Each structure stands twice: as structure tokens, then as C-alpha cells.
Amino acid sequence: MEIIPAIDIIGGKCVRLSQGDYTQKIVYNENPLEVAKQFEAAGLLRLHLVDLDGAKASHIVNHQTLQAISSQTKLKIDFGGGIKSDKDIRIAFDCGAQQITAGSIAVKSRDTVLHWLDEYGAEKIILGADVKEEMIAVSGWQENSSINLFGFLKDYVTHGIQYVICTDISKDGMLQGSSVALYKKILRQFPALKLIASGGVSDKNELDVLKKAGLHGAIIGKAIYEGKISLVELSKFD
């Protein structure tokens, strides 16, 4: 299982939110590049980089941070937040993203994401499924939709999606454990999916549980910044 540390950006700074609430913001570091270099020095290979300003503005905002991290580390970066157009996705890839996460756009403009799958290939596009009580949420979790998670996944799997990041909003940033039961339910229905857990990972034991459940990867944010999981522990995870 891949260990994927997360950096969320607001105003060029490394922050974390609780349950997607922009008013519950904690700034952990003024310099995201410094944080990324710490991850790389610990032997981690991946980075989940989220442009929270972009998610709110509906276009990429913090692409310079992406470019700085991609040019000064060897981390494999998946980038999300504000990717809403062909221009946005080109900016993301030109600035060094290895993959992009299509979240709200996958709900609001399905044809655009299917076009990206055709143009860039399934290895480059991650479907972002942000959920609350098995319903999809969009726009940096500022809006709820009437779309059921499982119908949403079935549609995109049929069209070739391989990678999915599933975030249970109720768990995100709360350090109360991840949605293992939900992930198991998803994998029973879509066993070939490369499913990446996001939200609620609180300690190393949680990672063992997710690995045993068959997750392809796990994104870890607040647990790192709050010292619940050390980078040494993550670097030794097998």
C-alpha cells in the first residue's frame, strides 16, 4: 500500500482544515516546499497536493507551489483543487504534476473528465470522490449533490477510471479513524479499483487495517502534522 502524505495550500501556506471547513484552518508551515523536502528526506515517494484556494475559486491558484515542489524534489505528485478546464489541467501537468485529481469537475462536467481520460490516459487521472453518507459533495465540500457514490463510481469505472481517492468528509481532519467499512464496500463492488483512502487516518494501526482491507494507498495529513504518526514510522511501513 502506498503511503501518500498530504499538503493542503491556502495563501501559499501549508494548512489543514477539519471536515472541509475553511473557518477551521490551522497553518502548520509557511513553506510547503520545506514540508515536501522533509517527506522526501524520510524516504517517502508520493505527495498529495491540494490547492484549497483553487477549489474555492474554481481555477488553479497555487500552481507556483506545485512547480517549486516538483522542480526541487523527486516526489510523485498528484495535484487537485480548481482543475476545471483544459487550461487548468495543462497548467498542472506543465508545472510537474504526475497525476491530477478530478473532483467537482467529475460531477459537474462529466464529458470534460471523459475527454481527459481519452487524451491523457487512465494513469494520469484520479477520480476524487468526496462523500457524506454515501452521497457526493463538491466545490471544496461547500456543496452537497444528489449523486450516490456507487452509481458515480460505476459510471467512471465503465469509462476506464482506475484510480479513486475517496474522502469521507465526516472523518477528514478529525483523527478518529478512516471509513474502513465504506472502503470495503467499494472494493467488494469494484475489486480492480486502485482505491486510495483519505480522511481520518490517526495512527499506524489504522494503516495496517487499510492495507489488510485491500487499499491501494492511504493519504495522511493531520496525523503527521499533529505528531500522531512520525515520518520514521511512515518510512518503515510495509
At 59, list the grid cell. Answer: 481555477
Q: What is the pLDDT of residues 161-219, one digit of tens each?
A: 999 999 887 665 555 678 999 999 999 999 999 999 998 888 899 999 999 999 999 99
User: Which domains are delineated in the chain?
Assistant: 2-236 (3.20.20.70)
Active site residue 155: no
Active site residue 130: yes
Which of 8, 51, 78, 88 does the annotation list as catalytic?
8
pLDDT: is 74 or 222 the higher one?
Answer: 74
Q: What is the share, in percent, of the chain residues with pLDDT greater than 70?
A: 92
Which of 51, 78, 88, 130 does the annotation list as catalytic?
130
- CA 125 from chain centre, in angstroms, equals 12
Cα 66 from Cα 112, distance rounded (Å): 23
Q: Report residue 139's pLDDT band, with 50, 70 and 90 as the boundaries.
A: low
Cα 185 from Cα 1, distance rounded (Å): 18
pLDDT: is 201 or 160 the higher one?
Answer: 160
Side chain identity at residue 222, one-letter code: K
| pTM as predicted | 0.93
Helices (H), 2-100: 32-41, 52-57, 63-72, 86-94
Q: What is the pLDDT of residues 92-127, one digit of tens each?
A: 999 999 999 998 899 999 999 999 999 999 999 999
Q: Report residue 140's pLDDT band, with 50, 70 and 90 as the boundaries.
A: very low
